[in-house]
Amino acid sequence: MSGNTTGKIFKVTTFGSSHGVALGAVIDGCPAGIELCEEDIQRELDKRKPGTSQITTTRKEKDQVQLLSGVFQGKTDGTPISAVVYNREFDSSAYESLKNTPRPGHGDLTWKSKYQNYDYMGGGRGSGRVTIGHVIGGAVAKQILNQMDIKVVSHVTQIGNIKANTVNINQIEDKIKDNPVRCADSKAAREMEELIIKMKSDGDSIGGIVETVALNAPVGLGEPVFDKLDADLAKAMMGIGAVKGVEIGAGFEVAGLTGYGTNDEYYIAADGKIKTTTNQAGGILGGISNGMPIVVRVAVKPTPSISQVQKTVDLDKMTEVEIEIEGRHDPCICPRITAVTESSMAMVLVDHLLRGGFIPLSTVEKSG
């Protein structure tokens, strides 16, 4: 199986499966001299852990990270960073009966058709739990971004048909801490939580939209054709299993706008920098960052594991059958996926900072 590594200079390779021994990541190309400890990674992993509310899975893994290499005396040393999280609290019994009956909405059938020897326990490598590797890579990337005063934050803007009101972009990070949905609009967050709990009681699930914003990114990240910053961000977001759509800035809304309504007009700010009066472009023009906030939204599908009777096929007998999925699953992926979208954006930004010369390559161990 290929495709487990992302990035050109800042490379992150993830490994592990839902019910395997462990999951983790190896980060190659990280500059030396960056302050990094297990607590920095743990802080990000805690964001994607199930909470104590009714809107997350009842699988309560501690997700305790162990940093294995790449750090000496509290700072990165330019060598590959590796970190691991051991699986402790999982139950594979519910999956044995499903090994020959692919679950609707999952990758079971396509993975089994391609690889034959498919780990069906908890979804194996296709489980949302593999995003632990994303978050480890993102945690390291965030330590680099912190030194450059670049901040990345994700928040839930929609669950089902419930949409959050727009919140000041500089207040999002503080406001999402007030509720388990990680929505910056407290009123909408309460309604979203009620909807998620109802879906759970009905044995169903619900999807939504998550917005990720980068503040203080410099002008000049990205290239104008195949290595556009927005193209790499879109690929990174689509690399998250539950994501089915990505938009930058105004996104699909531009289909109903005019040229005048879409164009962001320029002005000279008090600090002498050129800025735009609006941000329909989402901080990226011509594939290159323009200094405005980078805004990416993703459409997150409802959790495919639901406790309702569904039709499928028995691959051994080649007959049509019905299944009812057991186990412990999130009724809505959106709140926990915010940590993953933050990490995905952080990794792309650091990779482009290195590729664009914003970070000296002399601090990165040369390889290959």
Please, what are the domains in the chain?
5-361 (3.60.150.10)
* pLDDT reported for residue 53: 66
Q: Are 152 and 142 in contact (CB under 8 A)?
A: yes
What mean pLDDT comes out for the span 119-141? 88
Q: Side chain identity at 348, as an amino acid letter?
A: V
Quick one: average pLDDT of 316-344? 91
- Residue 57 has what pLDDT? 64
Q: Residue 73, Cβ neighbours under 10 Å: how many?
A: 5
**pLDDT tens figures, 67-84:** 999 999 999 999 999 999
Q: How many CB atoms lie within 10 A of CB 368?
A: 3
Least confident of 88-102, 174-188, 268-282: 88-102
Give the residue with greater pLDDT, 108 vs 348.
Answer: 348
- When pLDDT is cut at 50, 70 and 90, the band that residue 14 belongs to is very high
- Encode pLDDT of 192-221 as tens digits: 999 999 999 999 999 999 999 999 999 999
Residue 197 in tokens: 């709990």
Query: Mean per-residue pLDDT for 159-182?
Result: 94
**Are the C-beta atoms of residues 291 and 218 closer than 8 Å to each other?**
yes
Q: How would residue 368 be classed by pLDDT, with cut points 50, 70 and 90? A: very low
Model pLDDT, residue 367: 41
Q: Which region holds residue 125: left if phi is over 0, alpha if psi is between -120 and 50, else beta?
A: alpha
Q: Which residues contact 237 (CB under 8 A, 6 or more apart)?
A: 212, 243, 246, 296, 298, 341, 344, 345
pLDDT over threshold 50, residue 361: yes
Whether the CB-CB separation of 48 and 339 falls below 8 Å is answered with yes
Of 252, 257, 238, 265, the residue nearest 337 (C-alpha)? 238
pLDDT above 70: percentage of residues in the chain: 93
Backbone angles phi, psi at 302, to 5 degrees: -60, 150
Mean pLDDT throughout 140-146?
Answer: 97
pLDDT: is 331 or 97 the higher one? 331
- Amino acid 59: pLDDT: 57
Q: Report the chain's mean pLDDT, rounded to a whole number.
A: 91
pLDDT of residue 60: 65
> Is 191 or 112 the better-scoring residue by pLDDT?
191
Residue 275: exposed, middle, or buried by beta-carbon count in 10 A (0-12, 13-18, 19+)?
A: middle
Token pair recorded at residue 302 = 């409802």
153: confidence class by pLDDT, cuts 50, 70, 90: very high
Reported in sequence order, the residue ranges of 189-273 that DSSP labels E, i.e. its strands, are: 208-215, 243-248, 266-268
pLDDT of 115 reads 85
pLDDT over 90 percentage in the chain? 74
| Mean pLDDT score, 82-109 | 84
Distance CA 359, CA 240 (A): 27
